[in-house]
Structure 1
Amino acid sequence: MKAIQITAYGDPLEGLELVDIAEPPPPEKGEVLIGVEFAPVNHNDLLLFGGNFPVHPPLPSLVGNEAVGIVLQVGAGVENIKVGDRVTPPLYSFTWRERMVIPAEDLFALPTEVDLQQLAMLRINPPTAALLLSEFVDMKPGDWVVQNCANSAVGRAVIAIAKGRGLRTVNLVRRQEQVAEVEVAGGDIVLVDENDATERVQAMIGDGAVRLALCGISGTATARLVSALSSGGSLVNYAQMSGDMSAPGDFRPLMRKSITMHNFYQNKPAFRPKVPQILREAVELIRTGKLMVPVSAIYPLASFKEAIIHTQKGGKVLLEVNGAR
Structure 2
Amino acid sequence: MSHTVIMTGATRGLGRVAAERILAGSPQTHLVLLARGGAGAGLAEELSRDGHAVTSIPADLLSLGSVRGAADEVAHRIDGGTLPPLRGLVGNAGLLYTDDVTQSPDGFEATFAVNVLANHALVRRLQDRFEAPSRIVITVSDAHFGDFRHNKGMMPGPSWQDPARMARTSAFPRPESTTAGGIAYATSKLAAVHLVHEYARRLPPGIDVIAYNPGFVPGTGLSREAGAAVRFVMRAVMPLATLTPIASTQQEAGQQLADVVLGRTAAGSGSYVDRTSEARSSAESYDAERERRLWEVAEELTGPFTR
* TM more than 0.5: no
- More helix, by proportion: 2
**TM-score (norm. length: structure 1):** 0.35
Relative to total residues, which structure has the larger strand share, 1 or 2? 1
Flag the structure with larger Rg.
1
